[in-house]
Amino acid sequence: MPRLTDTTTLARNRARAKGATFLHEDVRDEVNERLTEVNRSFTNIAIVTGFPDFWRKTFPAATIVPDEEVLNLQPGAHDLVIHALALHWANDPVGQIIQCKRALRPDGLFLGALFGGQTLHELRACLAEAEAAVTGGLSPRVLPMGEIRDLGGLLQRAGFALPVADSFTRTVLYRDLWHLMHDLRAMGEGNALDARLRTATPRAVFTDAAQRYTHAYGVDDKIKASFEMVFLTGWAPHDSQQKPLRPGSAVQRLADALNAPEIVLPQTKGDA
């Protein structure tokens, strides 16, 4: 299977990241809010992340492990595993989620946060158009990220109970394309694609892309960039959890439950 991510470059990008943690702050706040809604105390938490210092401040008692291909998690050791804004870089996202599930006790909770498919769609489009116009070709520049329906399916493939995938989009304003790219480097989210171009890009590509970006996505004197944050929630299976009824096992008609008259539709010639 071809590799998506050059993990050496990703580690270097993260080591050079400086201060732009606002998206991690968004994820932290959302995680805390969701844990409050669960109304359960978690005593053995593990966090998978490429930014251990940030997450250790939020969960000082948690076990922090890097998002390596083989996660350093003990089977059945945790009642909560958080995969914190790193899963989009995984070469094997299903494998990552399965390893998180194995680390959970029965009825343990998995929370995964990652960038979704609409993230930086503006930048992706403008760079592609500019590179095609200037050089006559295309090269991988923005990480391809999964759509929410596909990402939710990963939970089912991993065997989680009660799987849920949802998202929200954070729109950020920047002065120009150069400001956005600077911020991406400060986040540690620069281009770490294994198939990326390894030679210098002509400056004319970025100049053209900047003009296209301002024209298509300008807001007053700034440009907008979208960050879709997808949250994956699943529970390690346990007998106490709610389970769907078998088809045909209902003991009450829906019409009776709604106190509404039942309308029998006439058969057509094609009905059996």
Q: In a 3-state reduction of DSSP, which class is residue 180?
A: helix
pTM of the predicted model as reported, rounded to 2 decimal places: 0.85
The pLDDT of residue 206 is above 90: yes
On whether the CB atoms of residues 83 and 96 are closer than 8 A, the answer is yes
Tell which phi-psi region holds residue 76, choosing left (phi > 0), alpha (psi between -120 and 50) or beta: left
Label each residue of 206-252 as H, E or C.
Answer: HHHHHHHHHHHHEECCEEEEEEEEEEEEEECCCCCCCCCCCCCCCCC
Tell which phi-psi region holds residue 17, choosing left (phi > 0), alpha (psi between -120 and 50) or beta: beta
Condensed to tens digits (0 to 9), the pLDDT of residues 30-82 reads 999 999 999 889 999 999 999 999 999 989 999 999 999 999 999 999 999 99
Res. 247 pLDDT band, cuts 50 70 90: low
Q: Using DSSP, how many helices (H) and how many strands (E) does the chain show?
A: 9, 7
Quick one: tokens of 55? 């997450």
Q: What integer pLDDT is reported at residue 272 of this predicted model?
A: 45
Residue where the block lists tokens 């998202």:
167
